[in-house]
Amino acid sequence: MSRKENLCKYLILGLCLALVLTFLPPAALAAQPDDGALIETVGPADETEEESEVSTVETYTTTEKGMEIIREFEGFRTMPYEDDGKWYIGYGTLCDPADYPHGIGQQSAQQLMDAAVKVAEGQVNKLLKDYKISVTQYQFDAMVSMTYNLGTQWINPDYRLCSYLIDGIENYSEPEVVNAIGTWCHQGTSVLESLVRRRLREAYLFLYGEYENDGPDMYGYINFDAAGGKVPSSTVFYPLDRPYGELPVPVQNGKEFVGWFQADGRELTADDIAVPRMEVSAKWEGAAVTTPKPKPDYSKWVNPYKDVASSDWYFTYVRELSYEGIIGGYPDGTFKAANQVTAGEALKLVLLAAGYRESSGGEGRHWAAGYLDEAVTLGCLAEGEIEDLDASIDRLTIARVAAVAMGLQPKFGDSPFADSEDGYIITLYDEEILNGVIVNGQRYYYPDRGINRGEMCAIVSRINQWNYVVEPEPEETGYIEYYGKKYPILQNVPKATYKPDLFVLDGSRMYYNDENYRTAWGIDISSYQENVDWNKVRQSGIEFVFIRIGYRGYAQAGTLNMDRYFQQNITGAKAAGLRVGAYFFSQAINPAEAAEEARYAVQALNGQTLDYPLVYDWETISADGARTKNLSNSVLTDCAIAFCSVVEQSGYIPMIYYNTPVAYTHYQLERLTDYDVWYAQYAAKPTMYYDYRIWQYSDSGTVPGVKGKCDMDLAFIPY
């Protein structure tokens, strides 16, 4: 048996032991930066530690071995160096080069590194605490190494590694974990070999606890160019010297995928043996090009700029745009990458890269006036927002212009940037148009600053390479694709008919501009909001409220508990004139317990009327020892039916609450069509295929009279 085969054998055994001994069970699903799906972690009734009956998670610090691997990855540099427009020194810590005219010693560099590691430790420990995730010391070291290098961008349930930890890493195979970590190997859209090696080393440290390992020798990767289509992940890692197996299938509206082809015209198949690296392109039926379009031969480009060197971080972007005639320099032969971009220049570059036509200002007008007119017409800018096209333009405005011009909608939720929660900036980050800069483990975009020519080239290049493709409707394929899996459409479950383009979010209020619906605004409340001023809530325009009656603990005891503010809340809400519904947070493991929960809720109501339904709220829990772990889909559905039956027999309207992962991967929806649905997804537009009557669209709304944040709801057909 070869050394590699021996190592594979021991690594697999190590994985089995690690998974048995160290990881926790599921909560919510997610996706990562190159993933197509977006999975939410939602719920109106997240229980406190006091209520959970589960102990807290250990707080970790990085071991010396963990520090050594960071030092190895970062390397040591005495003098300040520039990367992506920012300056670093020592072990890759951000600096002002003016502070180090004579460089830095290793001891001082170590102090800077120690401070940055402390920040990364705090961020990883917060993730573990927030989701009650238990890990080993070596897994913590691997995550700190990633955070030191990447910042907090991966610590987001929308990305794979974070979602795997929340869901329970034991549910995922070695290749899935390797890909969840390995995918963070890009600078912009380019794969960097140094990052590939680092990510694979970190992946094998995470999996097997080996600080010195052969991870880079065990996996290779393929870059998939979808040629106008979309793939869930453009870079995929495969175990070396084995058949590739399943290859991703891209989609492109109106075209049929033929296969993946190498530059020499050979087709890649699932039976081909994995090699260290490969580039392939998609071929589509009816496409004019029968072989992959070769990338431009930039070796033929003659650099006309005496102030642009191949070592400059922006060199590849300037070369690409100059080669294609998109940008130019100054008459004296310079490019002046540090010069600020004017509003006129920015509008022209962004709009042309997004596919709009050349425009002239017209006689007697500024040369860029036509681009300004186009931006106003598109809705990128308000009339009169930009008065001086020769003045600088801030980065927030650039993001808004770029996103709208590309046809992208703003996204809401956790931002990867510490200094901006703007929906357009989040969208462009997800589309890999904007990167920002990492400072002490935090990612910053600096939305109020101007932008220089080098930075502008990076954004324009990424827009230029970006392709917007409309995904096929489920009816065209016969299935719903969710997080890389396909779920056949349930023909007897009604489809949602809401039109995405009619949703508008204004602050905390969601509007649905369809005259066929008379929508109503609502919130849901529990003891977490403590004392609510219900008169202020009603005066703010809120029309209905769901109030938590109680909950079942999710430890093995599974005790029933009353929400300590329930009676106060229902009395106050009714007195203020609000329409009232209620919900019970369930952790039932059989129909008898679910019926018991319903009777408990009905008894607590003590004959009080409800305008809105009494809701069955079952959610996945990630805590160690959660009683509902591995509950089968059929039993869960039985529980929902048992709860709703008791509610209905008691004279109340039953309803079921769920989010996207619970709907698609847990409930048997075809058995629940007799009940209305309260659907949770924190987004600018809902994506659930099946019908629902109420949408919980945010968990961070602000409403007068409510302390802190609260969940926001929109009823499409008010009760």
Q: Among 250, 205, 210, 257, which Cα is nearest to 230's?
A: 250
Closest CA to 298 of 277, 313, 271, 317: 317
* 164: nearest Cα among 177, 155, 153: 177
372 and 405 Cβ atoms separated by less than 8 Å: no
Tell the burial category of 473 from Cβ atoms under 10 Å away from its Cβ (0-12, 13-18, 19+). exposed
Segment 149-160 shows an average pLDDT of 85
Task: Determine the pLDDT at residue 117.
Answer: 95
Give the pLDDT confidence score for residue 441 in this predicted structure. 73
The pLDDT, as a whole number, for residue 396 is: 94
Per the document, the length of the chain is: 719
At 601, list the tokens: 């809720």
What is the rounded average pLDDT of the residues 579-588?
A: 96
| Integer Cα distance of 545 and 523 in angstroms | 5
Which residue type sits at 42?
Answer: V
CA atoms within 13 A on the CB side of 384: 0
Return the pLDDT at 32. Answer: 33
Collapse the DSSP code of 78 into the 3-class scheme (helix H, G, I; strand E, B; otherwise coil) and give the result: strand
pLDDT of residue 359: 67
Segment 230-243 mean pLDDT = 90
Residue 575: count other Cβ atoms within 10 Å of its Cβ.
11
Question: Which tokens go with 260?
Answer: 């993946």
User: Which of 211-225, 264-278, 349-363, 564-578 is the least confident region?
Assistant: 349-363
Orientation angle between helical segments 137-150 and 193-208, nearest 10 degrees:
160
Q: How high is the pLDDT of residue 363?
A: 65
Is 559 a residue whose pLDDT tops 80? yes
- Over range 207-231, report the average pLDDT: 90
d(CA 571, CA 569): 5
H helix intervals, 423-559: 423-430, 453-465, 474-477, 534-539
State the Cα angle at 265 between 263 and 268, rounded to 5°.
90
d(CA 222, CA 280): 7
CA dist., res. 64 & res. 408, Å (int):
45
- Run of H or E residues at 641: helix 633-649
Residue type, 16: C
d(CA 570, CA 560): 19
Please state the rounded mean pLDDT for residues 281-285. Answer: 86
Residue 84 has pLDDT above 80, yes or no: no
Q: From CA 466, how far away is CA 231, in angstroms rounded?
A: 13
pLDDT digits (tens, 9 = 90+) for 43-73: 344 443 334 444 456 889 999 999 999 999 9
Per-residue pLDDT, averaged over 428-451, amounts to: 86
Q: Could you report the per-residue pLDDT of 326-381, keeping only the tens digit for each?
A: 788 887 888 899 999 999 999 988 888 877 767 666 667 888 888 888 888 778 88
Q: Which residues pair with 545 in a beta bridge?
A: 523, 580
Beta bridge pairs of residue 657: 617, 678
Q: Which residues is 267 bridged to in the sheet?
A: 261
User: What's the CA gap between 691 and 681, in Å, rounded?
Assistant: 13
Q: What local confidence, expressed as pLDDT, does residue 467 receive?
A: 46
Lowest average pLDDT, out of 418-427, 472-481, 646-655, goes to: 472-481
Percent pLDDT > 70 in the chain is 87
Residue with tokens 């160019």: 225
* Terminal-to-terminal C-alpha distance of the chain: 70
Of 370 and 580, more confident = 580
- Amino acid code (one letter) for 438: I
The mean pLDDT of 607-631, rounded to a whole number, is: 88
pLDDT tens digit sequence for 14-31: 433 333 333 333 222 222
Given a contact cutoff of 8 angstroms between Cβ atoms, the answer to whether 336 and 307 are in contact is yes
The stretch 209-216 carries a mean pLDDT of 93
Q: How does DSSP classify residue 505? A: E
**Catalytic choice (35, 225, 430, 524):** 524
Q: Is 524 a catalytic residue?
A: yes
The residues pairing with 479 across neighbouring beta strands, listed in sequence order, are 488
pLDDT of residue 3: 32
pLDDT at 321: 84
Q: Which two tokens stand for residue 40?
A: 């939410």
Q: Which of 53, 596, 597, 619 is catalytic?
A: 619
pTM comes to 0.43
| Rounded CA separation 177/395 (Å) | 35
Helices and strands per DSSP (H, E), number in the chain: 21, 25
Q: Which domains does the chain have, with CATH numbers?
A: 3-213 (1.10.530.40), 219-295 (2.60.40), 309-465 (no CATH), 490-715 (3.20.20.80)
Contacts with 684 (C-beta within 8 Å, 6 or more apart), sequence order = 409, 410, 411, 412, 423, 503, 505
Active site residue 419: no
Could you count the other beta carbons within 10 Å of the beta carbon of residue 31?
23
pLDDT averaged over every residue in the chain: 84
The answer to whether 690 and 495 are in contact (CB under 8 A) is yes
As a whole number of angstroms, the distance between CA 231 and CA 233 comes to: 5
